[in-house]
Amino acid sequence: MFVKRDPIAKATEMGCCGCFGFAFSRKPKTVVRPTREFGNHHSREYLLEEEEEEYEDVSYNGDLTETENRDDSEFQSPVRRSEEILRYRIHNGLICREVPVKETSKLVRSEDEDGNKMINEYVRQHKIGSGSYGKVVLYRSTTDGKNYAIKAFHKSHLLKLRVAPSETAMTDVLREVLIMKSLKHPNIVNLVEVIDDPTTDHFYMVLEYVEGKLCEGAGLPGGLGEDTARKHFRDIVCGLMYLHAHNVVHGDIKPDNLLVTASGTLKIGDFSVSQVFEDDNDELRRSPGTPVFTAPECCLGLTYHGKVADTWAVGVTLYCMILGKYPFLGDTLQDTYDKIVNNSLDLPDEMNPLLKDLIEGLLCKDPDHRYTLKTVSEHAWVIGEEGHIPQYPCWCKRNKPKEGTSDGSRTDLLID
């Protein structure tokens, strides 16, 4: 007998985000291996709890998304390029931070007078969520009394997780740190401190604490409503335009990675699969994002351009915010990719025509005709009654090299 499957359960099995009030459970020991035409986009979440854990050796992405079979020497790693570019920028002061990220090389694990576990001056409160490799825990600083979200890792375990022929999960984490060391924007989660004691196996990223997620409290199928969605969408576009102007491709834009402060400001977080480029050539092969937010060109096993793929994910996010569901979701991973590539976009007839035009422009299957973020920022629905999206002065502009000097970036622009 045929039984119709719950779409939430289907999304859960594919590792999709826990959006609109649903917390999708993760199954890190399940390895899905799609056919050659489809890359494996499953994230692995292995972060450190307070106790040591047993781990199973599994790959992070399973199969790479490539146009053809290549050996390790032929695979040009965007991660390696990113690291070189970022280190150059940081070494030469070509970053957006006036105050650098604090780097601590001494770890002291202790307890406070109430028996709460501590790392250095931070007192553990409770678990608040998960990142790309595991748990994120809320800590309170005894120095300034503020709350911080701390991502904690076992270095030895990350080194065992293979994400590409010559790269491990530790490569991803270190690249995430380098990216966040260079960024400073009101719509980007701020990295405050890195704790890396060479005598221990622990590695900590201390991040500003953002109280909520974009999708919390918005049950299916109602969505957020146009006014709320527009407010958050403007913040997403503002933050992503900043990233793209600095040639940073986020790679995993989705509601789970979009946090909202108590005052209502949205911030983009989780740069664990992000990449950085020297110029406008943002070509990629590996596509490690979340399946239902993946652009059509990423589903075909071909090379693709990271910025326009990010823009597609923004469109899926807007669709979710408005309609409270995913635009393309199949029974299996491959079925989902097939729908993304081949199915037409379904929008309600009664939808605001301006909003419909915006979503259709963002979810254009042809990346060459997809709306750019600049076009989106000037769209009538986005402008609304608020006016144009604000631009923010960039600290790195003041330190940029003279014209004609290659600095590995185009950081003098905030909108591309």
Q: Give whole-number Cα distances, 265 to 233, 258, 322, in Å.
A: 11, 10, 18
Q: Which two tokens stand for residue 250?
A: 């986020």
User: Running DSSP on this structure, what letter comes out for residue 327?
Assistant: S
Which one is catalytic: 252, 282, 310, 407? 252
Q: Which two tokens stand for residue 52?
A: 């040591």
Cis peptide leading into residue 296 (ω within 30°):
no
Looking at the DSSP bridge assignments, the partners of residue 136 are: 129, 151
10 Å Cβ neighbour count for 55?
15
- 151 marked as part of a ligand binding site: yes
The most distant pair of C-alpha atoms in the chain lies apart, rounded to whole Å, by: 71
- Is 252 one of the catalytic residues? yes
Interatomic CA distance for residues 327 and 288, integer angstroms: 20
- Tell me if 217 sits within 8 A of 209, measured CB to CB: no
Q: For residue 231, count CB atoms less than 10 angstroms from its CB and return exposed for 0-12, middle for 13-18, buried for 19 or more.
A: middle
Task: Give phi and psi for 177, each to the nearest 5.
Answer: -65, -45
Among 366, 373, 328, 367, smallest CA distance to 346 is for: 328
Among 329, 265, 266, smallest CA distance to 294 is for: 329
- Tell me if 357 sits within 8 A of 363, measured CB to CB: no
b/e 241-265 (16+ beta carbons within 10 angstroms → b): bbbbbbbbbbbbbbbbbbbbeeeee
- Tell me if 184 sits within 8 A of 242, measured CB to CB: no
**Residue 398 three-state SS:** helix
First-to-final CA distance of the chain: 54
- Tell me if 169 sits within 8 A of 184, measured CB to CB: no
Amino acid letter for position 371: Y
**CB half-sphere exposure, 19, CA atoms < 13 A:** 31
Interatomic CA distance for residues 410 and 416, integer angstroms: 10
Among 133, 332, 321, smallest CA distance to 236 is for: 321
User: Which residues participate in the annotated binding site?
Assistant: 151
Active site residues: 252
Binding residues for ATP, as ranges, are 151
